């Protein structure tokens, strides 16, 4: 066991992947000499050189398009999108090309491209620097979408994503880059696409991913002080979603609250709520509730505290679930 931030865990995970396979290379804006805006790639250019840690032009479509070509030649490119709101110029390359290439080739050609995207709020940033675009990619057949919530998961999941043969959108909750946590360097403890119960409870199941997991744990702690036992499930993977632990939990507690930073309409949270309602209907003692960002563009920094789900909004939903 060692203790490190998520940014450092990602850095070490990338380093381990690059040492294990010389075909792994990194691409992105300011990731080399600067080490990235969040310093996730700090020191990697000096260790592996500019041919494996490439500072690219400010052209997201070009970054992903080049990565597709490199994958066809046997490389395992890892692209960094500097901020969540910058991914849209590459959207066509990701959804129309990368996601479909393996299917188009009848499985004869693999495309092991990882696209790292810092996402979400909580850092007081300006427009285009705080968004939650996960639903776009989770909706796209051919893409895997994952989001670690802890340094331990970040360290292992980035390596597993790089080692796989499918394209992966790797969402990094930017507000969790700096808090420290324990990392077991000897074992991951869970497969890349496995959801996991991170707190046991009996009265209600709280479901979330990324930065929301820490908020759910805070809410569960406060609920416990009021005599309510809340179980917390960390999704970890948004496509595919591992429903087994979710459904097992809901069938025991009889109640579910799904929490996300993203807007609610046509979202990952909506999909989970629908699936729980469909597959655990006879165990539910109340409707599945959702707590999310609002169906508006992400607001100016001074209003993000109103927009983002917090402990109070989660506990209010718990109260409503328990009222049935």
Residues annotated catalytic, as ranges: 129
Tell me which H or E stretch contains 166. none
Q: How far apart are CA 228 and CA 274, in angstroms?
A: 25
Find out whether 138 and 170 touch, Cβ atoms under 8 Å: no
> In sequence order, what DSSP letters do the residues of 54-84 get, joined into one string?
EEPPS-HHHHHHHHHHHHHTT-EEEEE-SSG
- The 3-class SS string of 121-157 reads CCCCCCCCCCCCCHHHHHCCCCCEEECCCCHHHHHHH
Find out whether 192 and 154 touch, Cβ atoms under 8 Å: no
Q: Backbone dihedral region of 278: left (phi > 0), alpha (psi from -120 to 50 degrees) or beta? A: alpha
Residue 178 has which token pair?
């700096």
DSSP state of 16: H
Q: How far apart are CA 161 and CA 70, in angstroms?
A: 17
Q: What are the CA-CA distances from residue 15 to residues 9, 21, 197, 317 (Å)?
A: 10, 10, 29, 42
- Per-residue b/e over 281-300, b at no fewer than 16 CB within 10 Å? eeebeeebbbbbbeeeebbe
Other CB atoms within 10 Å distance of the CB of residue 237: 24
Residue 227 has which token pair?
């005599």
Q: How far apart are CA 85 and CA 136, in angstroms?
A: 12
Q: How far apart are CA 26 and CA 56, in angstroms?
A: 10
């Amino acid at each position: 066991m060692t203790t490190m931030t998520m940014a450092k865990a990602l850095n070490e995970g990338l380093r381990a992947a690059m040492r294990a396979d010389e075909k792994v290379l990194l691409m992105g804006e300011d990731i080399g000499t600067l080490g990235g805006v969040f310093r996730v790639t700090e020191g990697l250019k000096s260790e592996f050189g500019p041919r494996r840690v490439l500072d690219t032009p400010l052209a997201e479509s070009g970054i992903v398009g080049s990565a597709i070509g490199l994958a066809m030649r046997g490389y395992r490119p890892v692209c960094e999108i500097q901020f969540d709101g910058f991914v849209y110029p590459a959207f066509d390359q990701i959804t129309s090309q990368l996601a479909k290439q393996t299917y188009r080739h009848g499985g004869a050609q693999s495309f092991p491209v990882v696209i790292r995207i810092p996402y979400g709020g909580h850092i007081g940033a300006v427009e285009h620097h705080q968004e939650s675009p996960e639903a776009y990619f989770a909706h796209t057949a051919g893409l895997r979408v994952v989001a670690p919530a802890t340094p331990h998961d970040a360290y292992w999941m980035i390596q597993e994503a790089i080692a796989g043969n499918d394209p992966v959108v790797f969402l990094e909750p930017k507000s969790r880059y700096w808090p420290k946590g324990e990392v077991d360097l000897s074992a991951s403890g869970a497969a890349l696409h496995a959801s996991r119960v991170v707190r046991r409870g009996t009265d209600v199941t709280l479901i979330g991913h990324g930065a929301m997991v820490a908020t759910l744990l805070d809410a569960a702690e406060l609920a416990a002080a009021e005599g309510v036992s809340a179980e917390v499930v960390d999704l970890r993977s948004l496509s595919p979603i591992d429903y087994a632990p979710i459904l097992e939990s809901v069938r025991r507690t009889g109640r579910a609250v799904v929490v996300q930073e993203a807007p609610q309409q046509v979202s990952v949270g909506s999909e989970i709520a629908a699936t729980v309602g469909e597959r655990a209907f006879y165990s539910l003692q109340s409707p599945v509730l959702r707590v999310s960002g609002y169906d508006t563009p992400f607001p100016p920094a001074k209003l993000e505290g109103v927009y983002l789900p917090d402990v109070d909004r989660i506990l209010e939903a718990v109260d409503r679930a328990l009222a049935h």
